[in-house]
Amino acid sequence: MEKLQTTATVLIVPGLRDHVPEHWQTLLQARLGKVRSVPPLETDKLSCSARVDAIERELASIDGPVILVAHSAGVLMVAHWAARYQRPIKGALLAAPPDLETEWPANYPTPDSLRANGWAPLPNARLPFPSIVAASSNDHLASFEAVARMADEWGSELLELGAVGHLNPASGFGPWPQAEALIRQLDR
């Protein structure tokens, strides 16, 4: 299988469930030539600050341009990282960000536990790099309107994906081939 070659190193920023074998991010990582991933946390798994520091540590070990590819809470981590650190980023693909202002299903952290761990308030300043926010019309973690509002605040291009749930294995997604085209777009 030929690897997708990019000029930038792609840094995968997974959500709270970290690396899921059949997740599109994990499958994408295997397809890319220049790729790294933020490693799972051993402790403080709900700490936003610990997650942001993990992004920064991984970025510090990469020479040259970087494209961030984040999913779910990983998108929120990127927003917090961008508000706290300064580093040139070539672009970011931000898929299915959750809404911290809504109740999530029982198998997810509560909004109160996330607030207690530093996730809220979510930075809403314009991101200092080009970004594409990919949004579902039927995500159980965020309404399309909430994601559109985040994209607008961050100065991101909004890409409506249709009814793809949370764009994860539970929603029927393993591979997400469109991600490769979006990465190529950001890599130009």
- Domain with 174 in it: what CATH number? 3.40.50.1820
Number of independent structural domains in the chain: 1
Is the predicted pLDDT of residue 1 greater than 80, yes or no? no
Look at residue 48 and tell me if it is in a domain: yes
> What average pLDDT score do residues 94-104 get?
93
In tens, the pLDDT along 161-174 reads 999 999 999 898 88
The pLDDT of residue 33 is 92
In tens, the pLDDT along 42-74 reads 888 899 999 999 999 999 999 999 999 999 999
Is the predicted pLDDT of residue 4 greater than 90, yes or no? no
The pLDDT of residue 43 is 87
> What average pLDDT score do residues 143-150 get?
97
Look at residue 3 and tell me if it is in a domain: no
Look at residue 50 and tell me if it is in a domain: yes
Look at residue 1 and tell me if it is in a domain: no
Look at residue 2 and tell me if it is in a domain: no
Residue 25 and residue 68 in contact, taking contact as beta carbons nearer than 8 Å: no
Secondary structure class of 142 (helix, strand, coil): coil
Residue 171 and residue 164 in contact, taking contact as beta carbons nearer than 8 Å: yes
The pLDDT of residue 21 is 86
Highest mean pLDDT among 33-47, 146-160, 162-176: 146-160
**Cα-trace Rg, the chain:** 15
Is the predicted pLDDT of residue 106 greater than 90, yes or no? no
Q: Record the tokens describing residue 94, joined without a space.
A: 């931000």
Look at residue 51 and tell me if it is in a domain: yes
Q: DSSP state, 4?
A: B
- Contact partners, residue 108, CB within 8 Å, separation at least 6: 16, 141
Q: Which residue has the higher pLDDT, 16 or 90?
A: 90
Look at residue 163 and tell me if it is in a domain: yes
Q: DSSP state, 32?
A: B
In tens, the pLDDT along 19-33 reads 788 899 999 999 999
Cis geometry, peptide bond prior to residue 39 (ω within 30 degrees of 0): no
49: containing domain: 9-187
Look at residue 28 and tell me if it is in a domain: yes
